[in-house]
Structure 1
Amino acid sequence: MRPIRLPEPPGVDGMETPEIFSGGGSGAKVVRRAVLIGNGSPGAENQCLGLARALGLADNLTLYRVTRPRGGINEWLHFLPISLHKFIDQVLRQFFRNTRFTIVVQGRKPYRVLNSSSVGLSTILEPDVKKIVTVARETYEKEGPTLVVACGWDTISYSSLIRKLASDNVFVIQIQHPRSRLDRFDLVVTPRHDYYALTASGQQEIPRLFRRWITPQEPPRSNVVLTVGALHQADSAALRLAAIAWHDELAPLPKPLLVVNIGGPTRNCKYGIDLAKQLISSLYNVLDSCGSVRISFSRRTPWKVSDIVFKEFAGHPKVYIWEGEEPNPHMGHLAWGDAFVITADSISMLSEACSTGKPVYVIGTEHCKWKFSAFHKALRERGVVRPFTGLEDISNSWSYAPLNDAIEVATRVREVIAERGWTVG
């Protein structure tokens, strides 16, 4: 059986420092807990969870979720700040209640908050800033400071207000670029392609009036940490557990195992069945060098894309297509896959695959523009990805220094927290 190669986190022989020596003595302030604020997007919330894991706080965290009103006219109001959006929704619902305009305002289906099963929690509450601040203040002396990690545009007002009201008791990290007033946070974590000046082609896509506002000038401030890709939970420990959990199903498969992850078109990476047909043709060309192929789709994959791929490979003896039933084999695929083919639209899936050190092939970069193009260029320059052309021999492996963004960010967080006289326990 081909050995699984996983990146190791930094450390000394895997030994942990006993708590008595970790700054947890009398008078020391140790960060032992985290409050995470997400926006309902698995990609955003996994970044919060990934950083919490890298800091060793995964077992002592609370996840809150900011949710916007949905249905009816609300689908046209997502450009508004979330507090204003909620206020307008409340006024409209009250004003047009029990009238013929009710459906226009709230839509035909009642609004529901869908909890993400990926985080393993049955209930995720809306963040209450006053309650979070009160708990952080009242428990500070006994339980130490609180780490607050938020990700996504809609979480900015919550995390910045928490820091404003309890700056002496919390350390606030905002993931993804907040665009303005970066001093509202103790630390901002953002991909390099989302921070640096736009490319020449990107400059033409943005009105000149907004260019300076959208992307700050170099160099970044001292409280900004730049990453290559997105943070995630696929660290070495998680992959080793996944390797065990999926051993019986994936270990017996003929090698090499090629994993194909298909996302969906985005504003900056638009495509349709043309890319699906290109992928199908290229996969047929490499099947002879594959022992087996596992294909999976994301929640964003259009049915017309998944349908054409499924019809083409359904029943093929080398190809298995995951149809969305639980359990999700994604972590198992990362652990047992020998090589990956990933559509260019998903920064999250590419970041996870590139953390394994295994061959990663990308298809569809020609459909991407602006910061997505900058992201793919950065990956190519680091030698962690190659274009998927259909001419590859999947049995010929190649390697690179795995991306460890979460570990690197966690190291920087520890350094900045230490400047306050705190430690992360």
Structure 2
Amino acid sequence: MTGHPDRPSGLRRAPKGWAVTEEKAGTLTQCLGIAKQIDPAPVIKIVTKPRGWRKWFKPRLFSTREQEPTFIVSCGFRAEEPVLAIKSAFGGRPFAVHLQRPRVDGYDLVFISRHDWVPELDGIDHVRQMVGVPHQITPDRLAAHAGSRSQYAGPADRVAAVFLGGSNGAYVYDAACHLTIENAVRDLEAAGWKIVISVSRRSSAETLQAALTLRSGNVTVWDRTGDNPYLDFMAAADAFLIAKDSITMPCEALVTGKPVYTLDLTHVPGERLLKFETYHTDLRETLKLTKAFDGDLAPYVYEPLNETARIGTIVAEALADRQQSGPRGVTVSVKRQI
């Protein structure tokens, strides 16, 4: 829908979107992914929490002198109260969408990941399930990077993209984990794959160093110098091997329709591990979208996952309905306990 020839005809004017989020790149990209489906240039509002004397100089998040937003997409609990304040300041007119279970009531639409869903939410009309999280990777964006493949492989080669993250309370990148990564990459190299490896902003210096030791004529590792080649690596890949500490990266790779395998890491027992394992089990066993890595990246077929486009369509249709019928009160509480 970006580019907007496909915008629903019921929208009487070009909607103006605001993306309101806390200071995390992951939550911002979720908001922008959805907002850009409707408005190609949404306004970004970052909710900060300065400490000490800096809190006295905190800038205002918004002003009613700004162009009124038609809709707001938010993520992260620090964004929730500010979104309701924005909505109230503009007379309740902005259509508010939240991308996780909120701690407050007042949103018009709420999307909650399947791994966070609880039965008490079943049947609530303005609350919907989503697979994983939305993001900003689209087939069009990847197509623009298709020419990069020749940097890493020849026409007859197979390219495996290996994406690594960092310790997150559910998994830890320890020496055993680094050895697992090394063995996986060496096995793929021995099987004839060309391999491109990218670390994330969460990756430790030790994980980066462990990846750099794998460099060879067949293995390319981004060393964090220059521009991040993440989109180039995605566009070049014939298959993906993604560490299990990320929820976003598998969702991004599943847009391609290429095989997506997940690499197990050292577990940290607890509720956070349970949530991540629930997510991966759902992708692998229930939805049949991913596979667990066991030494091979064999091809398989699935319907590409594009939750960003699906959610964007739902929001656009709700906006069209809002413009025709006016605001409607949300009466069922969905907030979670703090």
TM-based fold match above 0.5? yes
What is the aligned-residue identity percentage? Answer: 26
What TM-score comes out, normalization by structure 1 length? Answer: 0.68
Do the aligned partners of residues 189 and 126 (structure 1) sit closer, same or farther apart at CA in structure 2, a change above 3 Å counting?
A: farther
Please name the residue that 1:243 is paired with: 146
Say whether residues 1:229 and 2:132 are aligned partners.
Answer: yes
Q: Distance in 2 between matches of 1:300 and 1:372?
A: 16
For the pair 1:22 / 2:9, whether they are aligned, the reply is: yes
The DSSP-based 3-state class of the residue aligned with 1:420 is helix
The equivalent residue for 1:174 is 98
Corresponding residue SS for 2:304: coil
Equivalent residue letter for 1:65: I
| Aligned 8 A contact 1:136 1:146 in 2 | no
Distance (Å, rounded) in 2 between the aligned partners of 1:422 and 1:292:
54
Q: For residues 166-196 of structure 1, what are the alpha-carbon distances to aligned partners after superposition, in whole Å with 9 as ceiling and x for unaligned?
A: 2443111112222x33x31111122111222
Amino acid at match of 1:372: F
Equivalent residue runs for 1:358-397 within 5 Å: 358-364=258-264, 367=267, 369-380=273-284, 381-390=286-295, 392=296, 394=297, 396-397=298-299
**Match of 2:30, as an amino acid?**
Q
Identify the residue that residue 90 of structure 1 maps to in structure 2.
53
Tell me, what secondary structure is at the counterpart of 1:350? helix
1:192 equivalent in alignment to 2:96? no
Query: How many equivalent pairs are there?
Result: 320
Q: Corresponding residue for 2:331?
A: none
The whole-number CA distance in structure 2 between the counterparts of 1:41 and 1:253 is 39
Per the TM alignment, residue 341 of structure 1 is displaced from its structure 2 partner at its CA by 0.8
Asked whether the equivalents of residues 173 and 265 of structure 2 are also in contact (C-alpha less than 8 Å), the reply is no
- State the alpha-carbon separation in 2 of the partners of residues 31 and 371 from structure 1: 39
Residue identity opposite 2:208 in structure 1: S
Match of 1:344 among 244, 248, 255: 244
CA drift of 1:358 comes to: 0.6
Offset, 1:254: 5.8
Alignment of 1:62-141 (within 5 A): 62-69=43-50, 89-90=52-53, 128-129=61-62, 131=63, 133-136=64-67
Distance 2:261 2:113 in 1: 21
Q: CA deviation digits over 1:16-42, x for unaligned, max 9?
A: 35x9x9356xxx4x3422111222322
Alpha-carbon spacing, 1:174–1:134, altered in 2? closer, same or farther (3 Å): farther
Which residue, out of 184, 190, 195, partners 1:282?
A: 184
Q: 2 CA distance for matches of 1:290 and 1:355?
A: 25
- 3-state SS, counterpart of residue 45 of structure 2: strand
Tell me which residue corresponds to 2:23: 40
Structure having the higher Rg: 1
Give yes or no for contact 1:225–1:409 (8 Å, CA) kept in 2.
no
Report the counterpart of residue 83 of structure 2 in structure 1: 159
More helix by share: 1
Superposed CA deviations along residues 252-306 of structure 1, whole A, max 9, x for unmatched, are: 4762101111100112333422111111112222223333111111111122222
In 2: Cα distance, 1:324 partner to 1:388 partner: 26
CA contact (8 A) 2:173 2:207 kept: no
SS of structure 2 residue aligned to 1:402: coil
Could you say what secondary structure the match of 1:346 adopts? coil
> 1:317 & 1:325 partners in 2: Cα distance?
19
Distance across 1 between alignment mates of 2:302 and 2:248: 19
Work out whether residues 31 and 422 of structure 1, in 8 Å CA contact, stay in contact via their aligned partners in 2. Answer: no
In the alignment, does 2:168 pair up with 1:266?
Answer: yes
Q: Which residue of 1 aligns with 2:193?
A: 291
**SS where residue 66 of structure 2 aligns?**
helix
